[in-house]
């Protein structure tokens, strides 16, 4: 079979199993199985694939269609903010919504070199992207998962930021560090009751520890805000990504901890997704 025939066959199988992104998924998975670029597979009709490559492709298509395994985990890679990151089941898959947070921070700190703390770094997507923009900045990335930290270290080496990031295994409550110009966090913010309602591709594959925010989804958020007021410099910024419908509650927690909202960011569906705050100093 030609690459185009294989893609069509795989795409139809995914479509019949309710995968909305069936065409691009089939293309990417054939690229993975054949070790050939997606562009070449689409343009060159004379590419011949061997039995093992076709067998691998069919297996990947099956995992995507039947098990609903995310493409990023099947590829072990995800693009984020124009950089490529290795991903696996030890970390959340970076989302486009988080790119909005990075984009806003790069504009706000343009020409500056903030000292950054990334709380719950996961794949390292946020701090690595920011340090790619702020060439003279340094930072610390913390996570309670050693496996996540190992992957974030690998990604920082791939993207040439390793020497400017210190990686520390720690919960935010136990972290005692210097003071920071910028603290960023995309903490777990799904409430326990809502975990069961997540899409299968999230519920059965992404790490629960990075999703579970406790009974109301804000357990970790509270800890991040409480600790941040102690380790944020005067005029420093706390940048949080929050879940849908959490703005009022998070806003109240910020006010109780003497934070003043500076920037509110909406996502592509017009939901408030990020809150940037500074400390009130009386």
Give the model confidence (pLDDT) of 180-235 as tens digits.
999 999 999 999 999 999 998 999 999 999 999 999 999 999 999 999 999 999 99
Matching fold, domains 3-67 and 81-279: no
Rounded to the nearest integer, the mean pLDDT of the chain is 94
Q: Could you tell me the pTM of the whole model?
A: 0.92
Question: Residue 95: pLDDT above 80?
Answer: yes
pLDDT tens for 136-177 read: 999 999 999 999 999 999 999 999 999 999 999 999 999 988
Output the CATH code of domain 3-67: 1.10.8
What percent of the chain is predicted at pLDDT more than 90?
A: 86
User: Does the CA dihedral 131-168-126-109 come out positive or negative?
Assistant: negative
CA dihedral 266, 107, 157, 189 (to 10 degrees): -20
The answer to whether domain 81-279 has CATH 3.90.1170.50 is: no
Report the C-alpha gap between 102 and 152 in whole angstroms: 17
Question: Residue 179: pLDDT above 70?
Answer: yes
Range 116-142 average pLDDT = 97
Query: What pLDDT is stored for residue 43 in this prediction?
Result: 82
Query: What pLDDT is stored for residue 1 in this prediction?
Result: 82
Report the C-alpha gap between 27 and 40 in whole angstroms: 11
194 within 8 A of 217, measured Cβ to Cβ:
yes
Which string of b and e fits 16-26 if b means at least 16 CB within 10 Å? eeebeebbebb
Binned at pLDDT 50, 70 and 90, residue 41 comes out as confident
Name residue, tokens 């629960």: 208
DSSP 19: -
Domain boundaries, the chain: 3-67, 81-279
Range 36-45 average pLDDT = 84
Q: Which backbone phi and psi does 2 adopt, to 5 degrees?
A: -80, 160
What the block records as the tokens of 86 is 């290795």
């Amino acid at each position: 079979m030609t690459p185009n025939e294989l893609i069509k066959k795989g795409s139809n199988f995914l479509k019949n199993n309710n995968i909305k992104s069936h065409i691009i998924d089939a293309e990417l998975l054939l690229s993975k199985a054949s070790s050939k670029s997606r562009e070449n597979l689409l343009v060159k009709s004379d590419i011949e694939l061997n039995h093992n490559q076709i067998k691998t492709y069919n297996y990947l298509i099956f995992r995507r269609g039947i098990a609903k395994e995310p493409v990023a985990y099947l590829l072990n890679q995800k693009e984020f903010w124009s950089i490529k990151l290795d991903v696996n089941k030890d970390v959340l898959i970076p989302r486009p919504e988080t790119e909005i947070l990075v984009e806003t921070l790069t504009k706000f700190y343009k020409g500056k070199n903030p000292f950054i703390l990334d709380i719950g770094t996961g794949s390292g997507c946020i701090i690595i992207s920011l340090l790619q923009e702020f060439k003279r900045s340094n930072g610390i990335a913390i996570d309670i998962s050693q496996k996540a930290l190992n992957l974030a270290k690998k990604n920082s080496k791939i993207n040439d930021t390793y020497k400017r990031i210190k990686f520390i295994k720690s919960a935010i409550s136990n972290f005692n560090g210097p003071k920071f110009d910028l603290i960023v966090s995309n903490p777990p913010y799904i409430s326990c009751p809502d975990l069961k309602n997540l899409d299968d591709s999230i519920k059965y594959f992404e790490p629960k520890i990075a999703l579970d925010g406790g009974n109301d989804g804000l357990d970790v958020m509270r800890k991040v805000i409480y600790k941040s007021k102690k380790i944020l410099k005067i005029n420093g910024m706390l940048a949080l990504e929050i879940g849908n419908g959490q703005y009022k509650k998070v806003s109240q927690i910020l006010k109780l901890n003497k934070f003043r909202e500076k920037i509110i960011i909406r996502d592509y569906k017009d939901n408030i997704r990020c809150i940037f705050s500074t400390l009130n100093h009386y």
